Structure 1
Amino acid sequence: MSKWKNEMIPNSMTWAGRMLTGLFALFMLGASISPKLLGMPVAEETMAQLGWPAGYALAIGVLELVCFVLYLIPRTSLLGAMLMTGLLGGAIATQIRAESPLFSHILFGLYLGVVMWGGLWLRDPRLRTLFPFAREAAEKS
């Protein structure tokens, strides 16, 4: 593990990761999980427009909630991120099948995934060690 020259860097990275995780959490709870779990008509209508049969919104909402909770718990955050990545991939595939617009709909799952993984990478030093953004010059030779 590399030594940090300034001890404030890891602390600021952790806080930046928490902020990204918070943004991801706000979106997931407000726009994705809650409407499905509360049985809001907009959730079923949207699922129908995307070609999903009636009644799947609740099941998908429960799956999203389980993955989301696993992501928020530090001990299971990596498992939660991997499972949530699968769900986001399914959302992307659904948008492709529905021939939705590329940047606003199809790639939205990718945007969420980048925020989710970025938050986890910034707040977890073990993940930064496993997947370093840049290696030091001494490690390259």
Structure 2
Amino acid sequence: MEAQTLYLNKKAPSKAANVTGWVITAICLLFLLFDAIMKIIKNVYAVQGSIKLGWPEEQITGLGVVLLIATIIYAIPRTAVLGAVLISCYLGGAVAIMSRIHEPYYFPIVFCVLIWAALFFRMPALRALFPVQSQQQ
């Protein structure tokens, strides 16, 4: 019964929270689209960076396609949570690769937090699942 009422809570976010969520979403989407497209078209800097991380050149386009699909799924409001999960998986791989080669891996972690923070601001169901303050009765 409690889980049922959790999802029925349709209290809309405040205007400030909604705008903040969409601004963070837009910034993240722009970065992800840029990164995906640079990998797909095999931009020289994207290829050099990926090879430095240990990726074979023939796999870079595939990584770009995977990232592009996850980004498109994240951009659609109805599938944004699934997109955030897929992007989190992608960024988890980035953390693993960066730590394997002893490079700083804070950026993928911070970026993943931003992906979820944007949804947290926009979606009442996520705020209900992960309340920041205790519910008073």
Shared fold per TM-score greater than 0.5: yes
Task: List, as ranges, runs of 4+ consecutive aligned residues in structure 1 with deviation greater than 4 Å.
Answer: 1-4
Cα displacement (A) at 1:80: 0.6
Aligned to 2:32: 28
Indicate yes or no: 2:101 matched with 1:98: yes
SS at match of 1:42: helix
Cα displacement (A) at 1:10: 1.5
Q: TM-score, normalised by structure 2?
A: 0.86
Indicate yes or no: 2:69 matched with 1:66: yes
Structure 1, 91-100 or 39-48: larger mean CA deviation: 39-48
Aligned to 2:127: 128
Cα displacement (A) at 1:3: 9.8
Hey, what's the Cα distance between the residues in 2 that align with 1:53 and 1:3? 47
- Tell me, yes or no, if the aligned pair for 1:44 and 1:55 is still in contact at 8 Å: no
Aligned to 2:15: 11
Hey, what's the Cα distance between the residues in 2 that align with 1:125 and 1:3? 6
SS at match of 1:79: helix
Q: Deviations over 1:24-63 (max 9, x none)?
A: 1121123x11210121111221111111112111101100
Q: Is there any run of 5+ residues in structure 2 with no aligned partner, and where?
A: 1-5
Q: TM-score, normalised by structure 1?
A: 0.84
Indicate yes or no: 2:133 matched with 1:137: no
Higher relative contact order (CA 8 A, sep 6+): 2
Cα displacement (A) at 1:75: 1.0
Aligned to 1:45: 48
Q: Is there any run of 5+ residues in structure 1 with no aligned partner, and where?
A: none
Kindly tell me the number of residue pairs found equivalent between the two proteins. Answer: 130
SS at match of 1:55: helix
